[in-house]
Amino acid sequence: MTDDLMSPKVAVAASLAATLVVAWLDYATGLELGVSALYLLPVLLAAWFAGWRWAVALALLNAAALSVVNTLSGHLYSHPFYQGWELLNHALVYLSVAVAVVALRQALGREKALNLELNWAIEEVGELKGLLPVCAWCHKVRDDQGYWGQLETYIEARTHASFTHGICPDCQVTVMAERRGNTGEQPALEITPPPPSPSN
């Protein structure tokens, strides 16, 4: 995922440079002044601008850089297990932050896209407000100038909707009954011929 402020390539380069700066600062301050939280800055930068892969890579790289700087600074561990444990803890923290930031970034991107679609839909669809005077008999609509017109014409003039016409099942029954009454004829029944008998 990209952002207008920084491309993924630039973000990765900036994250790597920030890792070097933080590692140098950590080494320069020595063991008494820990700056392990600063290793999150390159991870955040990569997670926000470069996506999942680089966020995970920078999280692991910064955890390893912290471990290496501690070793070079003379931090003594009574057992290698404790050094590995500390490395694992920092890696998990940095990975958790990376995953959370990338997920947040993607959620904001989806929200922005949905807002754009919503705004487009609002612009495309006209909104009818207020009371709409409709004739109870013929269903014509009175417009703002007092003229009576077809409901379809009224809505088409104020929205992007268009109409097509059919007949619902209830009206079909009514219309057919009226037609039978007007002609006085009963509709012919459809008789289905029996199937031919099989020849022996």
Tell the residue number behind the tokens 């912290």, with chain if given.
66
pLDDT for 78 beyond 80: yes
23-51 mean pLDDT: 90
160-182 mean pLDDT: 82
Other beta carbons less than 10 A from residue 148's beta carbon:
13
Q: Name the residue type at position 177.
A: A
In the numeric block, which tokens belong to residue 137?
Answer: 């008999």
pLDDT-based confidence at 79, cuts 50/70/90? confident
Tens-digit pLDDT profile for residues 94-103: 999 999 999 9
pLDDT at 111: 95
Query: Is the same domain home to 132 and 178?
Result: yes
pLDDT-based confidence at 178, cuts 50/70/90? confident
pLDDT at 196: 66
Other beta carbons less than 10 A from residue 62's beta carbon:
27
Query: Is the same domain home to 49 and 117?
Result: yes
pLDDT at 2: 45
Q: Is residue 16 part of a domain?
A: yes
pLDDT for 193 beyond 70: no
Query: Is the same domain home to 102 and 159?
Result: no
Q: Is residue 159 part of a domain?
A: yes
Give the 3-state secondary structure of residue 169.
helix
In whole angstroms, what is the distance from residue 56 CA to residue 8 CA? 14
Query: Is the same domain home to 151 and 110?
Result: no
Residue 89 domain boundaries: 8-124
96-119 mean pLDDT: 93
Boundary-marking domain end, from 95, 124, 153: 124
- The more confidently predicted of residues 17 and 143 is 17
pLDDT at 129: 63
pLDDT-based confidence at 4, cuts 50/70/90? low
pLDDT-based confidence at 21, cuts 50/70/90? very high
- At what angle are helices 52-72 and 8-29 packed, to 10 degrees? 20
pLDDT for 187 beyond 90: no
Q: Provide the number of structural domains found in the chain.
A: 2
- The more confidently predicted of residues 90 and 191 is 90
Least confident of 7-16, 49-58, 77-86, 175-184: 175-184
Q: Is residue 117 part of a domain?
A: yes
